[in-house]
Chain A
């Protein structure tokens, strides 16, 4: 017995365009609600930390942003690899749709980290392995975006930037394990596979914001990939026949 659904149908930009449009609200609204809920728990329910008092609350933004900046990179590199191997147009478009959001999260991660570091460590920035590899991640995102923008022919741009994305993915495990492999100023992970070393309400807030960020990423990437589809396929018949492109 085979499933009757033809999944490859949705790998065609033509059909995916419509599907993505329908899906966006199902991700955008829950994202907004969970953001509000997560931040409410974080700021009003979670207790004050014994050592850091109130400043620790930055982590409710910092940790989800950092986790996603790494995850998004792997997904982006995965899509780029699919595009390179199978020559599917949509995969490359997804990769370029993910890059700006990934860069945003990497920036938020570094920025909130600096804001926390000054009062807690006594320094905005330290060249330790964790911070430096996360900065490299931001540069990889920016490099991906810049490389794609600098090549006129989209198919050549996809190929070149895909190679950059795939090679750069080596950096992600380095970021994750940096605090174990080397002496760093950045603390180790509070959330491990073996359990957490964090109060329950703090965990709830962090996980809620993390889920909210995921949903936000999906919604915003679907919206962005729709624009990219329209842009790249602007000379095709189906785009010209779309209601929203007709004047």
Chain B
């Protein structure tokens, strides 16, 4: 082997090893790297017990209820499999909406309700003007009323 090929081999070998090592570490730390747990994970007791963690999912449709003080909000976070009741006192971000993504930081109280200290809205990757959303919603409504059982693969902003 020429010195050139030798150096190339060393570099390829080195990068492969480093990539493999980093890959293994990240795989082992999978739960620590993820920002939040899903409600299903929480019910399977994969989330930490008795201390703060983040839970993420969709705000369940029709579950948002405001208390009379105007600040305290009750809602459910769902991953369509399981749902977790959440209570939060504070100002919600603008993007917080029913049916949209949300990530809350807090812990589960004795009554089984997740008491959130911080609520963040999670935006999806869809960018479109209001008219396009209207059109999609109309098309879906038309499809639903014509009796077809098929629906959109994922919910688009409503």
Q: Determine whether B139 belongs to the interface, using a CB cutoff of 8 Å to chain A.
A: no
Q: Does B4 count as interface, using CB distance less than 8 angstroms?
A: yes
Nearest neighbor of A46 in chain B, beta-carbon distance: B129
Determine the distance from Cα of A56 to Cα of B129 in the docked complex, in whole angstroms. 11
**Contacting A48 at CB < 8 Å: which of B121, B125, B130?**
B130
B30 pairs with A182, CB closer than 8 A:
yes
State the main secondary structure of chain A at its contact with B: loop
Is the Cβ of B35 less than 8 Å from the Cβ of A126?
yes
A42 → B minimal CB distance (Å): 12
Residue contact A49 to B11, C-beta cutoff 8 Å: no
Q: Is the CB of A122 within 8 A of B126?
A: no
A51 at the interface (CB under 8 A from B): yes
Q: Is the CB of A170 within 8 A of B95?
A: no
Q: Shortest Cβ distance from A1 into chain B, in angstroms?
A: 27
Interface contact B15-A127, CB-CB below 8 Å: no
Query: Given A49-B129, A182-B34 in contact, is the A169-B123 Cβ separation under 8 Å?
Result: no
Contacting residue for A122 out of B35, B120, B127, CB 8 A: B120
Q: Quick check: A129 and B127 within 8 Å, CB to CB?
A: no
Q: Mark A156-194, 1 if CB is under 8 A from B, else 0.
A: 000000000011011000100000011111011110000
**Is A123 close to B, CB under 8 A?**
yes
Indicate if B93 sits at the interface (CB-CB under 8 A). yes
Nearest residue (CB) in A for B134 is: A50
One of A5-13, A89-97, A196-204, A223-231 at the interface: A196-204
Q: Which of A32-40, A78-86, A235-243 contacts B (4 or more CB under 8 A)?
A: A78-86
Contact A185 B4, beta carbon cutoff 8 Å? no
Q: Mark A50-61, 1 if CB is under 8 A from B, else 0.
A: 111000100100
Number of contact residues on A: which range applies? 35 or more
Tell whether B157 is near chain A: CB-to-CB under 8 Å.
Answer: yes
Contact flag A183-B15 (CB < 8 Å), given A50-B157, A85-B7, A122-B121: no
Decide yes or no whether A121 CB sits under 8 A from chain B.
Answer: yes
In this complex, what residue of B is CB-closest to A191?
A: B125
A186–B4 Cα distance when bound, in Å, is 42
Residues of chain A lying within 8 A (CB to CB) of residue B18:
167, 170
Given A122-B118, A183-B56, 8 new contacts (CB under 8 A): A49-B128, A50-B157, A119-B93, A120-B94, A126-B35, A128-B35, A183-B35, A183-B38
Contact residues of A with B, CB < 8 Å?
47-52, 56, 59, 81, 84-86, 119-123, 126-129, 166-167, 169-170, 174, 181-185, 187-190, 197-199, 202
Q: List 17 A-B contacts (CB under 8 A).
A: A49-B129, A50-B128, A50-B129, A50-B157, A51-B95, A51-B97, A51-B123, A52-B95, A121-B123, A126-B120, A127-B35, A182-B30, A182-B35, A183-B34, A183-B36, A185-B56, A199-B127
Interface residues of B (CB under 8 A from A): 4, 7-8, 11, 14-15, 18-19, 22, 26, 30, 33-38, 56, 92-95, 97, 100, 103, 118-133, 157
Identify the 10 closest CB pairs spanning chains A and B, nearest first. A122-B93, A47-B129, A128-B35, A183-B34, A190-B125, A182-B34, A50-B130, A50-B133, A198-B127, A121-B120
